[in-house]
Amino acid sequence: MNRTESPTDLKVEKNTDHLSVRKETKASIKKILDELNSQRVGRAVSADDLVSAGISLLTPTDIKRIQDATISYEDRLKLKYKRYVEKHGPATMSEFLEKTFGKALEGED
């Protein structure tokens, strides 16, 4: 750094970023980190170490399960309707519902 540059003039590339998690998730992470870092030599295990290790253990089945957990019943119905239209041709949602659930709903009050 020359004499005309101040420390704030230097660009420092950040290697970290923030991520929002629920308070319960944060508490769980802290609890695990406390356990990992107790009675230990060497550098402390960081949240990044923990998250990276966990991500590396995810299987395609885990990823599918997580994705499925975010889909509502309404979303599932829309997906089934879309597949129905692709397979059977144009149909209204009402026609799809009648073909799909008509027999099951007959006579119910």
108 sits in the region (left: phi over 0; alpha: psi -120 to 50; else beta) called: beta
Q: What is the pLDDT along the chain (109 residues), one digit of tens a residue?
A: 455 555 565 666 778 889 899 999 999 999 999 999 997 788 999 999 999 999 999 999 999 999 999 999 999 999 999 999 999 999 999 999 998 888 777 765 5
Domain that holds residue 102: 71-109
Query: Do 61 and 81 fall within a single domain?
Result: no
Domain count, the chain: 2
Contacts of 85 (CB under 8 A, 6+ apart): 91, 96
Residues 60 and 81 in one domain: no
pLDDT of residue 48: 94
Q: What is the pLDDT of residue 4?
A: 58
Does one domain contain both 77 and 63?
no
Residue 59 lies in a domain: yes
Specify whether 101 is located in the same domain as 65: no
Residue type present at position 51: V
| Same domain flag for 27 and 65 | yes
DSSP E strand boundaries for 1-109: none
Instruction: Tell me what pLDDT residue 16 has.
Output: 86
This prediction has a pTM of 0.61
Same-domain status, 92 and 64: no
**Are 30 and 65 part of one and the same domain?**
yes
Determine contact, residues 48/29, Cβ cutoff 8 Å. no
> Do residues 20 and 8 touch, judged by C-beta distance below 8 A?
no
